[in-house]
Amino acid sequence: MFYREAGDFKTTYADDSQTFPIKFDRYRYWAVLAFAFLVVPFIINDYWLNAVVLPFLIYSVAAIGLNILTGYCGQVSLGSGGFMAVGAYSCYKFMTSFPGMDIFSVILLSGFVTAAVGILFGLPSLRIKGFYLAVATLAAQFFLVWLFNKVPWFYNYSASGQINAPERTVFGYAVTGAETHAWAVYLVALVFVVVLAVVARNLTRGSLGRKWMAIRDMDIAAEIIGVNPMTAKLSAFAISSFYVGVSGAMFFVLYLGAVEVGEAFGIGKSFIILFMVIIGGLGSIFGSFAGAAFMVLMPVLLKNVMVGQLGWATDLAAHFEFVIVGGLIIVFLILEPHGLAQLWRLAKEKLRLWPFPH
């Protein structure tokens, strides 16, 4: 009834190729943005920010990054944790070497550094693919973590090897360090997430995204129709690493504030981001958000229900959490192998017919 193409006439090419062709979707999109920018900052507190919202936003960026590489370009990567570490450590080096730089340029520059590293580790993808590439990116993961542990220059020769984010302000409000306001940190993260998501969405709809998908679906066929596999694969690695690097930088400065590479950016992080992408849906920007929400919210929710509501012992709850989240992942993969994004697509198909399905 409300959700339909009929009656929504497009008179220009720009209108015809817009992101949300259905009017209802457009309104919903603006409503979500308005809520996120105008309502949430007034109600958010430290708990919501640090336990739920901030990890969700940051993992969303990381998941979009990995989705570009794995979901759109078909190159499996297990190095996301390592690339996040590159983002975090370059962010730290920029912040301590150039104290005058503002936080936005620091985070973006960290993304560019990560993109360069990503291209370097993307080179093997020109010769190998599939499982073999996954192993090569796994090597990147272990090498990068080892590097940041081994070379003291990266952590400014501190005794413990930890890096700490110094305080930075935006318009006079602290967004990193100890004296932050929840809303300020939230808004900085939100600006990054919204801009990066819009850019990613449009990249994947444009010629670059089509080249990636051509490579993903069949690389030889893509080459025959004129897609250069080298530029397509390396651009996917570069842009994906840029996103992952930005998320690593945000993870360090906005979220944790103090980071130790082995613990924060270990192989576990790579797997979690890969799970987000698979559960959310390969090749979908919405899926990246859905997957991140699932992996971040589920444990917090389960913990609050089991410990907070039912009063179970904390260790019992923690073990059950593994069982339930693991079980849900398997159930999802069996019932809907295309992830949460596919559920959303089906819901939209049903909405088009609602309330007269026949």
The least distance separating other proteins from the CB of residue 95, rounded to whole angstroms, comes to 10
Size of the site for other proteins (CB under 8 A): 46
- Comparing CB distances to other proteins, the nearer of 194 and 297 is 297
Which CB sits closer to other proteins, 43 or 224? 43
> Which tokens in the block code for residue 346?
């089906």
| One-letter amino acid for residue 45 of the chain | N
**CA pseudo-torsion sign 263, 267, 272, 277:** positive
Buried b (16+ CB within 10 A) or exposed e, 62-82: bbbbbbbbbbbbbbbbbbbbb
Question: 269: which residues sit within 8 A by CB, 6+ positions away?
Answer: 80, 81, 84
Q: What angle do CA 353, 291, 111 make, to 5 degrees?
A: 125
Binding mask 160-189 for other proteins (x = CB under 8 A): xxx-x-xx---------xxx----------
Judged by CB, which is closer to other proteins: 16, or 315?
Answer: 315
Give burial (CB, 10 Å; 0-12/13-18/19+) of 345.
Answer: middle
The dihedrals phi and psi of 127, each to the nearest 5 degrees, come to -110, -25
Identify which of residues 147 and 199 has a Cβ nearer to other proteins in the complex.
147
**Interface with other proteins includes 140 (CB under 8 A)?**
no
Residue 313 Cβ vs other proteins, minimum distance, rounded to whole Å: 8
Site track for other proteins across 45-84, x = CB under 8 A: -xxxxxxx--x-----------------------------
Choosing from 17, 19, 105, 158, the residue that interacts with other proteins (CB under 8 A) is 158
- Min dist CB 210 to other proteins, Å, is 32
Show the site string, 258-277: x = touches other proteins by CB under 8 A, - = not: xxx-xxx-x-----------
| Window 216-255: contact mask with other proteins (x via CB under 8 A) | ---------------------------------------x
Would you call 169 helix, strand, or coil by DSSP? Answer: strand
Contact 246, 110 (CB under 8 A): yes
Which residue number, 178 or 224, has a Cβ lying nearer to other proteins? 178
Return the H-helix or E-strand segment holding 60: helix 54-66
Containing H/E element for 164?
strand 163-164
Q: What span, in angstroms and rounded, lies between the C-alpha atoms of 346 and 325?
A: 24
Minimum CB distance to other proteins, residue 332 (Å): 12
CA distance 114 to 84: 8
Using only the alpha carbons of the chain, give its radius of gyration: 21
Shortest distance (Å) from residue 304 CB to other proteins? 4
> Which region, judged by CB under 8 A, interacts with other proteins, from 109-117, 159-167, 202-210, 229-237?
159-167
Report yes or no: 75 and 233 within 8 Å, Cβ to Cβ. yes
Nearer to other proteins, 17 or 162 (CB): 162
| Interaction residues for other proteins, span 274-313 (CB under 8 A) | 297, 300-301, 303-305, 307-309, 313
Which residue's CB is nearer to other proteins, number 319 or number 348? 319
- Specify the residue, 194 or 305, whose C-beta has the smaller distance to other proteins: 305
Bridge partners of residue 173, in order along the sequence: 170
Q: Which is nearer to other proteins, 135 or 301 (CB)?
A: 301
- Residues in Cβ contact with 127 at an 8 Å cutoff, skipping those fewer than 6 apart: none
Using left for φ > 0, alpha for ψ between -120 and 50, and beta otherwise, residue 227 falls in beta
Q: Which residues bind to other proteins, rule: CB under 8 A?
A: 46-52, 55, 96, 149, 158-162, 164, 166-167, 177-179, 255-260, 262-264, 266, 297, 300-301, 303-305, 307-309, 313-315, 317-319
